[in-house]
Amino acid sequence: MRKSTTAGVMIGAVAASALMPLQLSAQEAVSSEMAQMAAPTQEMQAVLDKLTELGAKPIGTLSVEETRAQPTPADAVMALMEEQGAAPDPALLAIGTTDVMIPGAAGEVPARIYTPEGEGPFPVIVYWHGGGWVIADIDIYDASTRQLAAGAQALVVSMDYRQAPENPFPAAHEDAIASYEWVVENAGKWNGDVERLAVAGESAGGNLAANVAIAARDNGWIQPDHQLLVYPVAGDEMTTESYVENAEAQPLSKAAMEWFVQQVFTDASQAADPRLDLVERENLEGLPPATVINAQIDPLRTEGETYAAHLKEAGVTVSQRTFDGVTHEFFGMGAVVPTAQEAMDFATSQLSEALNTAAE
């Protein structure tokens, strides 16, 4: 698998996420003739153009191994920074890191602990990366986690997990639960204070974070004080408004999502599992406050917005924002995409407020 640790120190999040089957009633389908994909901002388009220039092929057109090895949006941002002569933020470089192996549900999985400057003890954010449960790793998402650690002044534990097709659903979800329990028990070893605790994730990782929050509630574990869900996988319908609008979007298209489905599930019926189809869950009461961030040019936009609305209906405090002119995977690209920095500032402000309130 291609690694992008150096790129991650300087830039932003990447890879892709995952979803499931497509059947929807005709009355819920949106006419493709009426849908039109929004134009990316100039800065976002520059990232997409650079990704193509680096030789990346659309997800779904290569084998799993080839897809894992090809250039990522993080590489594209890194290349743009080099062209522009942009130096990495010293505050991000100052974040300390420790790589560890921790117990998953079926063996050890890699994790990286990010420690901000200061004396601590620090609030704790447990984070899961994207990649459709198939591609990407903690190296590729290094920039997002550094920015979260610096912006929220928190100990961030970035978790890996078993991936499909080698380890199909629900392997990643089982690992996420196991790793959360481990962090709650062990974060103190790294000067973390789990009395101030959040879960966070992007894309497929956003789905994992949401499921961990639900599992903590249902099992009577220490519950997170906040959940940050960045364009999370939250439904199993591929005819929503945003799927129709953004069927040909990059770096995540409808075809890419269909490819992820083929890799993740051994049976299409598994897509109806409530761990995947969050928008259809009815038991959302009593969950932690949530910040939900979506991108306008993203097939997953509608389900993320819908899940946020359902959380609100269940009495959960929710702050949801959809950022215009950006695509899936924009979140950590603040070095070259101003809208991404705006989204990161929003996220870390929400996390800081929640975690500081938890300490009172």
Question: Would you name the residues annotated as active-site residues?
Answer: 203, 298, 328
Distant-in-sequence, close-in-space partners of 234: CB < 8 Å, separation ≥ 6: 206, 207, 210, 277, 278, 279, 300, 303, 304, 306, 307
If we measure between CA atoms, which residue out of 225, 215, 219 comes closest to residue 193?
A: 225
Report how far Cα 221 is from the mean position of its chain's Cα atoms. 23
22: tokens are 């497509």
CB 271 within 8 A of CB 236: yes
Q: Give the separation between CA 292 and CA 311, rounded to whole angstroms.
A: 10
DSSP string covering 65-121, please? HHHHHS--HHHHHHHHHHHHTPPPPHHHHT-EEEEEEEE-SSSEEEEEEEE-SSS--
On the 0-12 / 13-18 / 19+ scale of CB atoms within 10 A, 103 is middle
Which residues lie across from 126 on neighbouring strands?
A: 157, 199
Q: Give the separation between CA 151 and CA 337, rounded to whole angstroms.
A: 17
If we measure between CA atoms, which residue out of 290, 291, 352 comes closest to residue 321?
A: 291
Q: Give the separation between CA 309 and CA 350, rounded to whole angstroms.
A: 18
If we measure between CA atoms, which residue out of 329, 227, 278, 230 comes closest to residue 19?
A: 278
